[in-house]
Chains A and B, each alone.
Chain A
């Protein structure tokens, strides 16, 4: 057992830290305040080949390992959770299904521009009446000659409008239930496909979260991903991996909050001494860092299991559950330690607190993670 990063992973981490510190950090408050997509950070990620970290060279990826990608989400999220989720949704949710289930032609046409960063990806599963109960898909696709005709609405879709390529799930045979769901690759400019209402959110406010509306959208049959009826399996497997990305986002938010608190408690004086001299501060910090380090071990372990081709569904659920709840707890305590200043938008911890909440909800709520974990225990 070796708990150390490899030399290559350490060098990757150094790059991600430089990008986060020099490029992402300065825009984080503006991205949040003005609910704007962090385009300039995405451009730096593209130039640094961060948009296809775990994908093969033959399709334009960096050919690195899965943990390196997870380190990227963690480091970006320390400074800006919005930027972290842009990378996670693109890499784990939008690109991975094509890398895993795509035909050679689909990989050439879609994986290459996505892994090289030329294009951005998104994933559309959630519907107004199909959230945690994803099997209740009402979007449907009907075969028509060499095409499918797609109709329906998706909601809460990350990277909506910014992405060029969308993985969309739709019923192709309602009588078969979850085995009647299929996955499609849909291009942004396909006639009949429009971006709907932009959600105003509590946190990750710069992340583009919108409806996707499909009105008689004609999809060539070459864009069916996997086989007809495989969609639910593709969605669930994709989310298993996506959860490691969100766990890394939560981990980054939590560590980012601690990184903000430490210089503050050293500098802030009350009752004639710095806050850091009070045992309450010391014990709170110790609890916060211990929880974050425990979360980090779970997240890295899940990432390594995925990298090594081992089962990772339960590990990913544990990592996301624990990291998300840790992020919520640590950011709450961080504000408490910083008092009134921490509550204001002059300091970044209040944003981190708002950003943390979503990690307990999207890509499977904490309740879903508990279902996955206990389901495996009681099997």
Chain B
């Protein structure tokens, strides 16, 4: 069972700087972590490996060269292999170009199951996992908070929606996107840290994908999304003030919430 886990290195801070010219994130010099939803995905894969020795985990990330350190840490947590897709030609990619590139890399690497985090804490799009599934033309289940059963043919998972849970059986290969609350990611361990120095992160460039991925579909040029401006929206809402006795205040609050369909009863 080959499980591919997609991870992204994200800034460990709310202080995100944005390149004024391109509208994309400036990553240099910002402390980085593995995106929390992705780390949950890795932990879910490692838990499957704990139960089944035949599970082989390859962690894949697309990003700048410094993401190599983060990938090595995934090996130090127990992943079998790590691949960094890094190439100036891939830079500036939006989610569409990123998912095309990841899908091409996944075709080269091979997979039975793909696990990706639901969304990254920097971009918050939640698009790369689903788009990758579409590119690969395989089924997907998003918002997974438990992998209940895994067989060579199918997976049974729990999908957590805001107001309900769904237990879904999905045919493999498939893409699952995972939620950070689903588990407590394990730490690195001393044994796998030692091994991670004998198991280098493999580097993939566009040269490895050029036969299946046209150049006009990658990087900034292959990205239909154009960011014009990034800013923090001012919070402003019309307010009304009431001065009423407690009972009437409570009734008014309840009625208002009900009118706005925020509560049902």
Contacts and interface: CB of A to CB of B under 8 A. Distances in A.
Contact of A64 (B73, B187, B193): B193
B193 A15 contact: yes
B156 to A, nearest CB: 27
Interface in B150-194: 186-194
Contact of B188 (A7, A11, A53, A68): A11
Contacts, number: 51
Nearest to A68: B190
B187 A8 contact: no
B76 interface: yes
Q: Which of A50, A57, A62 is most buried by chain B, counting CB atoms within 10 A of its CB? A: A62
Name the interface size band of chain B.
Answer: 10 to 19
Question: How would you classify the secondary structure of chain B's contact residues: helix, strand, loop or mixed?
Answer: helix
Contact of A19 (B76, B187, B192, B193): B187
B61 interface: no
Given A11-B73, A11-B76, A49 B197 contact: no
B189 A49 contact: yes
Contacts of A14: 188
B190 A53 contact: yes
A48 B197 contact: no
A44 interface: yes
A18 interface: yes
A63 interface: yes
A343 B194 CA distance: 42
Interface string B67-97: 0000011001000000000000000000000
A49 B196 CA distance: 14
Is the interface on chain A under 10, 10 to 19, 20 to 34, or 35 or more residues? 20 to 34
A64 B194 contact: yes
A47 interface: yes
B190 A12 contact: yes
Contacts of B197: 7-8
Interface string A210-253: 00000000000000000000000000000000000000000000
B193 A8 contact: yes
A44 B184 CA distance: 12
Interface in B110-151: none
Contacts of A64: 190, 193-194
A48 B189 contact: yes
Interface string A4-42: 000110011011001100000000000000000000000
Interface of A: 7-8, 11-12, 14-15, 18-19, 44, 47-50, 52-53, 57, 62-64, 68
28 contacts: A7-B197, A8-B193, A8-B194, A11-B73, A11-B76, A11-B188, A12-B190, A12-B193, A14-B188, A15-B189, A15-B193, A18-B187, A19-B187, A47-B186, A48-B186, A48-B187, A48-B188, A49-B190, A49-B192, A50-B189, A52-B190, A57-B191, A62-B191, A62-B193, A62-B194, A63-B191, A63-B194, A64-B194
